[in-house]
A = this chain, B = another copy of it.
Amino acid sequence: MATDKPIRIGVMGCADIARKVSRAINLAPNAVIAAVASRSLEKAKSFASANGYPESTKIHGSYESILEDPEADALYVPLPTSLHVEWAIRAAEKRKHILLEKPVAMNVAEFDKIVAACEANGVQIMDGTMWVHNPRTAKLKEFLSVPERFGQLKSAQSCFSLPGDENFLKNNIRVKPDLDGLGALGDTGWYAIRATLLANNFELPKTVTAFPGAVRNESGVILSCGASLSWEDGKTATIYCSFLADLAMDITAIGTKGTLRVHDYILPYKETEASFITSTKAWFNDLVTAWVDPPSEHTVKTASARSVYVGEIKNKGAKPDVFWPSISRKTQLVVDAVKESLDKNYEQISLSGR
């Protein structure tokens, strides 16, 4: 299905995260940056030059303008979450494929509108959860899927915390109710929830219950929270996300026969390789003084990670792949349920029928 012509990406907004994604696009063999937009021409221009954009990149001084650009096959949208529903729909209506930063929307109702617009216009949508495209993630899924190595999942714990400094906690868009109003839940929690869903083969939980002890800022934006998720068959998971704690991004998934541990699932310690730890049927020696078959570490080369990041959209050709919006939607559903539980004093929220 791959075509020879590289996909031409328009970058719609000059957020900090767009620097990293721009680099990824520049490194990808099958993608090229064709255009960039900001609300000011000046800002777009200096962003383009600071991030090594090609000379040919079209510079747009408004989001409306980049939507009309015939040179852009797809748009990367790192705008604040509250703007997603408007601009993603407008992009779809202009038949642009969309790489939408996470969280994809303020709630699943908004996202459903975006998906409807994409379907109506035959364009692919995919969210910005970059780590699922890392070659290591395929290895994690492989381990989790082999009955003799991992068995059936029983418990998954995932987290993503980062320490916001004074400036971040005061001024970052992710703590502003009118911009990224889902706060840490929508930002770092999105990844932790996605990790949990991935470990559960994307089966939605039956219930979601937030933990007591969530922290909000004075505007009510979530700075730190956690939740438990449960499935029909006694599987449980927990997620934890925070802007108030040290950098940590861990998955611990315990199955009936094996255990998986990842300490850097979102961004590997190194750019060129990534590790994970597995064990299968580890046990103790006779006198319980040491382990037999203790966990072992595995390393995956990740040199190609950056091209995979962008390539997924292009190689699907004309027919969009419904898998990507389906997992975005499930992630958003769980985000919404955690928020609902928090808003309802930690009530247990059922996801049946959602």
Contact = CB atoms under 8 A, between A and B. Distances in A.
A248 B151 CA distance: 14
| Interface of A: prevailing SS | strand
A246 B290 contact: no
Contacts of A155: 159, 161, 226, 240, 242, 245
A267 B211 CA distance: 29
A198 interface: no
A90 interface: no
A344 to B, nearest CB: 13
A271 B245 contact: no
A159 B156 CA distance: 11
A277 interface: yes
Given A209-B212, A246-B259, A226 B234 contact: no
A20 interface: yes
Given A213-B234, A252-B159, A256-B163, A267 B287 contact: no
Interface string A267-290: 111110000010111111001111
Contacts of A245: 154-155, 254-256
B209 A281 contact: no
Contacts of A244: 154, 234, 256
Contacts of A159: 155, 157, 252, 254
Contacts of A213: 207, 228, 230-231, 234-236
A291 B263 contact: no
Copies held by the complex: 2
Interface in A99-119: none
A346 interface: yes
Most buried by B among A242, A247, A283: A247
A235 B224 CA distance: 10
A151 B230 CA distance: 32
A298 interface: no
Contacts of A287: 19-20, 23
B238 A248 contact: no
B211 A246 contact: no
Contacts of A231: 213
A294 interface: yes
Given A209-B212, A224-B234, A247-B291, 19 more contacts: A20-B287, A154-B242, A154-B244, A154-B245, A155-B245, A157-B238, A163-B256, A214-B234, A226-B228, A236-B240, A245-B256, A246-B254, A246-B255, A246-B258, A246-B282, A247-B259, A250-B252, A267-B284, A269-B291
Interface of A: 19-20, 23, 151, 154-155, 157, 159, 161, 163, 206-207, 209, 211-215, 224, 226, 228, 230-231, 234-236, 238, 240, 242, 244-248, 250, 252, 254-259, 261, 263-264, 267-271, 277, 279-284, 287-291, 294-295, 346, 348
26 contacts: A19-B287, A20-B287, A20-B288, A20-B289, A23-B289, A159-B254, A163-B281, A206-B212, A207-B213, A209-B211, A211-B238, A212-B348, A213-B230, A213-B234, A213-B235, A236-B240, A240-B254, A242-B254, A246-B259, A247-B279, A247-B291, A248-B254, A263-B277, A264-B291, A267-B289, A270-B291
